[in-house]
Amino acid sequence: MSSVSNPPSIVRRTPRWLPLLGRSANPGDAVFRSVSRLFALLILVLVLAMAAQMAFAAEESFKEFGWGFITSQKWDPVGQRYGALPFIFGTVVSSLLALLLAVPVALGIAIYLSELAPLWLRKPIGFLVELLAAVPSVVYGLWGVFVLAPLMATTVEPALRSTLGFLPLFSGPNQGFGMLSGGVILAIMILPTISSVSREVLQAVPANLREGAIALGATRWEVVRVGVLPYARPGLVGAVILGLGRALGETMAITMLIGNRPEISASLFAPSYTMASVLANEFAEASQDLHLAALAEISLLLFAVTLLLNIVARLLVWQVSRGEAKGAR
């Protein structure tokens, strides 16, 4: 066989270390893949390091108080007694209150923007709702202190007391800074999270489900209820849980509005305290080791709870979007 031209050079002399980086005949590829993988792994390392670091820092407190830490009501830096229950209570109640207020509104917005609004209106309104998420927490806090709290104290709380005052929830002195104001500000802040994720979930519902209902002569709301919502339900639950995660970890605005008193009260008007708030207020000034350890344990708790919630929420949201990928085929 006579070859006229020189045989092309397609063989590369590979460096010895190349097999260490996985099977690839191109050294540039092998190096690049390894470097990018390294940085991807960094994310994993970061989360594990956070958990480990906080667990390590909290060790002393855990040894001293054990499980009693989360059931004790006493938070006394002077007497070196630490119990996290008031903070857990404040965090959970303010977040649930926020959900109660925000979920119906957020779902209404999501349904409006993905199903009902005229097309030309969807983008600008969606943008405005997302701007709500762009305003920094501390600015909401500022607005809360000077606008929302006075409004609550002079108008909303008296009105609630005069109508629903027979409930312990709405009794006690109105002061503007307390659980209710904290819940309202949190609701405003998680609203865009819930509505934008819900909107994505609704838009991921395959069109043929809607068309099925339309073809049966359904009204627009019935299309949503019969054709869209059943399919989107897990994703919507996921959106709500993401919102809850946001609310639990939210710090500045609620610190500025909730009153910061580690007490458990039946009244929503009374001041309370959250886990994130006590970290914000005391962490920089804590000088004793046990105080720092107790705060670290609170931080670890908060981290663990939000982590768990996020995992559940992501799984639910993925379930819907995976279904979309399948339906498209």
Partner 1 sequence: MNLEPAEPVVTAPTPKVKAPSAPGGAEEPSAPEVKLSAEDLRARFGTTQVLKGISMPIEARTVTAVIGPSGCGKSTFVRCLNRMHEVAPGAVVEGRVLLDGQDIYGAQVDPVLVRRHIGMVFQKPNPFPTLSIQDNVLAGLRLNGTRVPNPAEVVERRLRQVALWDEVKDGLDRSGTSLSGGQQQRLCIARSLALEPEVLLMDEPCSALDPIATARVEELIHELRADYTIVIVTHNMQQAARVADTTAFFYMGELVEYDQTDVIFTRPKQRKTEDYITGRFG
Partner 2 sequence: MSTRAAPLLEASDSSYKLRKAKDRLIRGLCVAFTLLALVPLFSVLYYLTARGIGGVNLAFFTELPRPVGETGGGMANSIVGSAQLVGLACLFGIPPGLLAGIYLAESGKGGLAKVIRFTADVLAGVPSITVGVFVYSLLVLTLGRFSMLAGAVALAVLMVPTVTRTTEELMRLVPEQLREAGLGLGLPRWRVTLKITLRTALPGIATGIMLAVARVAGETAPLLFTAFSNRFWNDGIDQPVSSLPVQIYTYAVSPFEDWHQQAWAAAFVLVVFILILNITARLLVRHRVKGR
Instruction: Answer with the entry of partner 1, partner 2, none that 217 interacts with (C-beta below 5 to 8 A by kind).
Output: partner 2
The least CB distance from residue 81 to partner 2, in Å, is: 21
User: What are 73's two structure tokens?
Assistant: 């009501």
Helix (H, G, I), strand (E, B) or coil at 291: helix
Residue with Cβ nearer partner 2 (105 or 264): 105
Helix (H, G, I), strand (E, B) or coil at 76: strand
Residue with Cβ nearer partner 1 (3 or 162): 3
The least CB distance from residue 317 to partner 1, in Å, is: 25
Distance, in Å, from the CA atom of 75 to the CA atom of 277, rounded to the nearest integer, reads 14
The least CB distance from residue 315 to partner 1, in Å, is: 24
Instruction: Answer with the entry of partner 1, partner 2, none that 79 interacts with (C-beta below 5 to 8 A by kind).
Output: none
Instruction: Answer with the entry of partner 1, partner 2, none that 21 interacts with (C-beta below 5 to 8 A by kind).
Output: none
The least CB distance from residue 117 to partner 1, in Å, is: 33
304 Rama sector, left if φ>0, alpha if ψ -120 to 50, beta otherwise: alpha
Which residues does residue 81 pair with via DSSP β-bridges, in sequence order? Answer: 76
Rounded to whole angstroms, what are the CA distances from 228 to 209, 222, 234, 312, 313? 7, 9, 12, 22, 19
Instruction: Answer with the entry of partner 2, partner 1, none that 272 interacts with (C-beta below 5 to 8 A by kind).
Output: none
Residue with Cβ nearer partner 2 (171 or 249): 249
- The amino acid at 6: N
The least CB distance from residue 290 to partner 2, in Å, is: 16
Closest residue by Cα to residue 196 from 139, 266, 246: 246
Contacting partner 1 (CB under 8 A), which of 7, 79, 118, 217? 7
Contacting partner 1 (CB under 8 A), which of 4, 43, 44, 284? 4
70: phi then psi, degrees, rounded to nearest 5:
-90, -5
Site for partner 1 in 16-55 (CB under 8 A): 25-26, 29
Cα 158 off chain centre by: 32
Binding of partner 1 by 8 (CB under 8 A): yes
Distance, in Å, from the CA atom of 193 to the CA atom of 132, rounded to the nearest integer, reads 9
- The position carrying tokens 């109660």 is 100
Residue with Cβ nearer partner 1 (4 or 43): 4
The least CB distance from residue 177 to partner 2, in Å, is: 11
Site residues (CB under 8 A) for partner 1?
1-5, 7-14, 25-26, 29
